[in-house]
Amino acid sequence: MSRIFLSHSSQDNDSAVALRDWLSAHGWDDVFLDLDPRRGISAGSRWQRSLNQAALRCEGVLFLVSRAWLGSDWCLKEFNLAHRLNKRLFGLLIEDVSIGDLPATLTENWQLVALSSGRDHVMLRAILPGSQNEAHVTFSQEGLIRLRIGLERAGLDARFFENGGGRDALPLLAFTLERLYAAYGECDPEIPDSGYGRGQQPVINVTWYHAQQYVAWLSKMTGKTYRLLTEAEYEYAARGGTQTAFPWGNEVGSNNANCVGCGSAWDRKQPAPVGSFPPNRFGLVDMVGNVFQWVADCVHPSYQGAPTNGSAWVDGGKCTQRIVRGDCWFYNPIYLRSASRLSYAADTREDGLGFRVARTLMP
């Protein structure tokens, strides 16, 4: 399953190949481009079916918008399909076109990136498959930077394209998810539930500081060491020993979690009660979907210099912001990936944000 799909007009093949090569050079090497002999449409395949299947399986779609793209019925069909599937959409303007000519769903819901204009330009070369001729394509350097940042914020971080995951291969400290999830039945009654009920509903509307206060209180009450998971521990636990995009496989499927388009009774309505979906291979529930969950790590611009023992990465980070994992009931399924990550200001509280508790095992 290629995780990024490049949609383009056949008249813009040079631009598509140049962008694919730029993405690959910057770490995004899992890109579907129909021209690509390795990851595109193979000989003997029905091209329309192959394109539909690639769009269905990808996580994000990059549209190279030009006058030719706007005039192509097939390109617009690809856009409408990706929109219906709730894919993460990136409109990349490779020509100066009128915003009024673009699909309304693209301009109303998604921030466009102009690759055709900007203060600085970079020239990229493109060699089409089966050709020896070299073409040159000029893109805005500022636009490419915005695209890179947008992909990372969407959970399509190039660091996760190297081995299909983030930090799950690290050795980890001994820990257990003894208490699987923080639910309202065991938390401060003053924490609001946004009208969704209490009991077995997951705790929401908690800041990172609230979560830290809770684990400190729990440790004091029990005499054991409770804490938030580190980011590495969270991904290890979420994967449950798998290397697939999601804990249950490479397709979102239906009723595996709670998110927009997940096929559950709670999609885009409210958080589901804890344990409403099948556990992963480690027996853990709701590791992805339902509500995002705070972890201990501060925000860093990359994984360079991260701890190699799976501990929380705090030193040198922006600690007024903290990492969250998991996806939630009003986000798209792209964030369900075991490797997906976002960050929030540590004092954020909202009804799609909770936490999970781990206990350190003493030797």
Q: How far is CA 2 from the centre of its chain?
A: 14
For residues 55 and 61, is the Cβ–Cβ distance under 8 A? yes
Rounded average pLDDT over 210-239:
90
Element (H, E) at 138: strand 134-140
Distances (CA, A) of 154 to 148, 179, 330, 357: 10, 30, 15, 26
Confidence grade of residue 167 (pLDDT, cut at 50, 70, 90): very low
pLDDT at residue 162, rounded to an integer:
41
Question: What's the confidence (pLDDT) of residue 324?
Answer: 94
pLDDT in tens, 228-269: 999 989 998 999 888 888 999 988 999 999 999 999 999 999
CATH of domain 4-161: 3.40.50.10140
The pLDDT value given to residue 157: 59
Range scoring the smallest mean pLDDT among 167-176, 211-220, 311-320: 167-176
Class level of CATH domain 168-363: alpha beta
350 pLDDT band (50/70/90 cuts)?
Answer: very high
What's the pLDDT band for 179 if we cut at 50, 70, 90? very low
Mean pLDDT over 190-203 rounds to 86
For the chain, what is the mean pLDDT? 81
What is the pTM for the complete model shown? 0.57
Q: What angle do CA 178, 205, 342 make, to 5 degrees?
A: 75
Is the pLDDT reported for residue 188 higher than 80?
Answer: no
User: Is 40's pLDDT higher than 70?
Assistant: no
Mean pLDDT of 297-323: 88
And the tokens for 115?
A: 């690759």
- Using the predicted structure, report yes or no on whether residue 312 has a pLDDT greater than 50: yes
Q: How is the chain split into domains, by residue range?
A: 4-161, 168-363
